[in-house]
Structure 1
Amino acid sequence: MKYLTINILHHHLHTEFRAKMSIMAQFAKYWEKEGHIVNFLFGCEEYIPADILVIHVDLSETPEEYLTFARQYPRVVNLGLTDIRKRAISRNLVERGDAYRGPVIIKTDLNCGGTPEVKLGTRPEAKPLSWLQRMKKRYKLKDPGVIQTPSDYLIYSQKRKVPRSVFKNDELIVEKFLPEKHGEAYYQRRYYFLGEKEYNEIHSTSVPIHAVDSDDHLIDYWEEQEIPVQLQAYRKELKADFGKIDYVIRDGQVVVFDVNRTPSAGNVKGDPVAAKWAQTIAERLHSGIYPT
């Protein structure tokens, strides 16, 4: 095998500490063990020649300057996946005037409530909470005006119950709420991929929204060998070379919840379970970057 030089491109304000918490950093360890050179780039100021560039900018939209920089390289991972906002990737959006009347969920258009955009300075910090919002937070009452993480998402049994202000807010989206339930457990599926390498798992939880594996809602998780053809076709439509797709199976159909181009490896230093899981993902997927 020819030894490769692989560059991983981060946002210029991204820290080395945060970069090391990603699944991509786990891949890099394997590439280096196998004799390849890996460079971590922070911003577009310095061009370092490489065989492959991985765009790993933790924003919902990849800025054009990073795409322009990336096009200098002979092969680029995720050059085609430039926008993962919910309005771009969702197939279950609901509008106020459409015919859908069933249960809905309110999310932010940006991934992770726009937190990465705030951290990297592309979006201003949220305004201080009002007195009413502070009271709601104190008593653990959800507010569509304060959604920062998936645990803040709101579910309504009928679309007509959604406040009108939500439909007028460009930072929020309304989707059909289509969970996958087996008995008392909810199933949430995660599909990881790099090139032709794939890994698919199911998380069984006691709640319909589960985004933090360390919480008390996780019942069990396991690898699922069968990967839906419909999901693979959706990935191809997105032009996604690397990432994670959260989804469920509802009435035999794939329902996508979220797309992530920069998935985290979790607390690999402090949590042995997370470390073993990240190692499994890296072992299975890292070779997907090699030319076939």
Structure 2
Amino acid sequence: MTEFRRFRGTLGYLTNDALEAAVNCALALERPLLVKGEPGTGKTLLAEAIAQTLETELIPWHVKSTTRAQDGLYVYDTVQRLYDSRFGDGDVRDIRRYIKLGPLGRALASERRVILLIDEIDKADLEFPNDLLHELDRMRFRVVETGDEYVAKERPVVIITSNNEKELPDAFLRRCVFHFIDFPDREFMRQIVNVHHPELSRALVDQVLAVFYEIRNMSRLRKRPSTSELIDWIAALRKAGIDEVKLEQALPFLGALLKKEQDLVAYADQLAGGRKYRS
């Protein structure tokens, strides 16, 4: 039986008690951990931090609208086999050469427990979540083309992220441990900034946080700036040698924070109006 190791965050990934409890619950129950939250709150980085804590491999699986659970197990590369048959490159009779394990297949076939990150599951169609958990419950799969069967020796630690763009099936939710990552308050954000930019002066930290949260509180924004965008913005300020910022129309590197044309217009309009909007 795998030794149970508690997750307490890492030097580069700060946590709170609620997040640590959710991760450790998922580890203890050997259930998938479903993590929701707005983009930029560290959902994907959480999987990296867990892999670092458990000292194991992280296998990422970035979901698209066309993703199927079967594709996550393996794909049969018929195009490459046809190419080789035409140009004489290798023995096309050996079908195993053309079987490529997908992220889920690699996780189940691994000799040791790994972290499987299923990123942005809400991008897939409605059947994908239940098909996915069906394969995880079986802990084995068979390659139809060769007859080879893979049986998992260790259940992978499954971290599933969602941006909450689509409702997930109730049957899927019942089988997961759930955690919602709240957007960091100002004091917690200060700690995050200190991790990424430890040499930043306290005065500049105060200024960038004041500007950042004022922008986030503007009511007309369609996409509010996230933690990752704040970190990038600070990096740009430091490279340019800027040691003072304030909320104004000529805010330096505004494009690092606002990524939609409508939001840039809304930002300018609200500053011109001389009001501070609250959501």
Same-fold call, TM cutoff 0.5 = no
TM-score, structure 2 normalization: 0.25
Task: Give me the TM-score of the superposition, normalised by structure 1.
Answer: 0.24
Structure with the higher strand share, 1 or 2: 1
The higher radius of gyration belongs to: 2
| The structure with more helix, counted as a fraction of residues | 2
